[in-house]
Amino acid sequence: MFKYPKVNYIGNKEKIAQWICDQFPSDANTLFDAFCGGCSLSYEAKFRGLEVYTNDILKINYHIANALIQNNSTVLSKEDVKIIFSGEPYEGFMFENYSEVFFFAEECKELDLYRKNIEKLESETKKSLAFALMRRTMIRKMPYSRFNINWAKIKQLRDEEYSYEKYKRKRAYHNKTFKYHFLQNVNEYNNAIFNNSKNNIAYNDDIFNLLDSVKADIIYLDPPYTGTMNNYFGFYGLIDDFISGSKTAPFENNFIDKKNVGKLFDKLFSKLSNFKYWFLSYNNSSLPTKDELLYLLNKYSNNIQVIERKHNYKITGKEKKQANKEYLFIIKNELYQENIIPNYATTEL
């Protein structure tokens, strides 16, 4: 039995992935997970035998998808792990830019070494798997598991005595080494890789650039929920910087601005003609509201169902659990044509 590994992605659908996939129509064989994040939904869909196409604008999520969804068999060997952790830490990009910003200087030097070593792995898939694991280690060392916390707070929370006094938890795992966390997780990630005999593909682009070229029976939409804490570049941009060895720019079409989000959804829905079924995750504390979304969706279909259930997101710094009603909009695209005949085919041969 294959098991989705510990990814710990903010806003993930791990706990409700089965429930979502249970709703998929039986005539659907292919799925496009347009905002795949940590790939919890894609993993479940792959497990159920669908051909899965993933996309996310962040590089690190592309690598998670390349490692767990597109990849059928490549794992990291002991030799690969040795390559990643050999040599001497040095003062590179992470040291120059992120010492005492997110990690201690010595830790940044280690990250510079590991980044250089990952390049020595023999295939792109191995590199992706190494990045996915390196992400896991960076997240384990980071208070609140996201990279938008200031250094004073990070240092305070990594002080085990302070943490114990204040929260009755030492959080000693923040101070374990990258290598320790990597070794703790490598088997779990390796064991999660399986072949579902389909041609699964991982993409890495702004979704608005892909909707004309990717085609699938189902598109699953799990965009950042506007009005909640949803700045994904803020959460994980640092890992993209680590991967590219340069400062990456925040992305557009990020679903952060409450004023424009109605227009963004309208634009998104207008571009979904390649998909027979649309599945949209949203919740009751985000904008647009359920009624506003229904209004926009009604332009394309009268065959819409909304089902709901409770889902807790652990998103706040205080790790306070907030009860949410999670919606799943299920839309049958009534304008969808099974076999669209390209224009040239209508001319006389």
* Cβ closest to ligand SAM, residue 255 vs residue 269: 255
Region binding ligand SAM by CB under 6 A among candidate stretches 97-105, 173-181, 250-258, 313-321: 250-258
Binders of ligand SAM among residues 224 to 243 (CB under 6 A) are 224, 232
Out of 80, 107, 222, 326, point to the residue binding ligand SAM (CB under 6 A). 222
- Is residue 206 within 8 A of residue 20, CB to CB? The reply is no
- 275 contributes a contact to ligand SAM by CB under 6 A: no
Q: How far is the CB of 12 from ligand SAM (least distance, A)?
A: 4
Q: How far is CA 331 from the centre of its chain?
A: 23
* Cβ closest to ligand SAM, residue 154 vs residue 264: 264
Query: Which residue minimizes CB distance to ligand SAM?
Result: 37
Q: How far is the CB of 349 from ligand SAM (least distance, A)?
A: 40
Structure-token pair, residue 202: 């991982």
Q: How far is the CB of 76 from ligand SAM (least distance, A)?
A: 22
* Cβ closest to ligand SAM, residue 112 vs residue 224: 224
Query: How many angstroms separate the CA atoms of 254 and 257, rounded?
Result: 8
Q: In 23-123, which residue ranges form alpha helices assigned H by DSSP?
A: 40-47, 59-65, 78-84, 93-98, 105-118
Q: How far is CA 155 from the centre of its chain?
A: 27
Please give the order of strands across the beta sheet that includes 51-55: 201-203, 51-55, 30-33, 216-221, 275-283, 322-332, 304-313
Region binding ligand SAM by CB under 6 A among candidate stretches 38-46, 89-97, 188-196, 300-308: 38-46
**What DSSP string describes 202-265?**
EE-S-GGGTTTT--EEEEEE----BTBS--HHHHHHHHHHHHHTSPPPPPSS-S--TTTHHHHH
Number of residues that bind ligand SAM (CB under 6 A): 24
* Burial class for 299, CB neighbours closer than 10 Å (0-12, 13-18, 19+): exposed
Query: How many angstroms separate the CA atoms of 128 and 31, rounded?
Result: 22
SS3 content of the chain, % helix, strand, coil (to 5): 40, 15, 45
Query: How many angstroms separate the CA atoms of 110 and 107, rounded?
Result: 5
- 57 contributes a contact to ligand SAM by CB under 6 A: yes
* Cβ closest to ligand SAM, residue 224 vs residue 288: 224
* Cβ closest to ligand SAM, residue 116 vs residue 271: 271
* Cβ closest to ligand SAM, residue 98 vs residue 220: 220
* Cβ closest to ligand SAM, residue 9 vs residue 114: 9
Q: What does the per-residue mask of binding to ligand SAM show for 181-220, with x meaning CB under 6 A?
A: -------------------------xx-------------
Which residue is it, tokens 């000693």? 172
* Cβ closest to ligand SAM, residue 17 vs residue 108: 17
Q: How far is the CB of 99 from ligand SAM (least distance, A)?
A: 26
* Cβ closest to ligand SAM, residue 41 vs residue 134: 41
- Is residue 12 within 8 A of residue 313, CB to CB? The reply is no
* Cβ closest to ligand SAM, residue 102 vs residue 220: 220
Binders of ligand SAM among residues 113 to 142 (CB under 6 A) are none
- 254 contributes a contact to ligand SAM by CB under 6 A: yes
Residue type, 235: F
Helix (H) or strand (E) holding 139: helix 124-140
- 37 contributes a contact to ligand SAM by CB under 6 A: yes
Out of 4, 13, 154, 192, point to the residue binding ligand SAM (CB under 6 A). 13
Residue type, 12: N
- 56 contributes a contact to ligand SAM by CB under 6 A: yes
* Contact set with ligand SAM (CB under 6 A): 9, 11-13, 35-38, 40-41, 55-58, 61, 206-207, 222-224, 232, 253-255
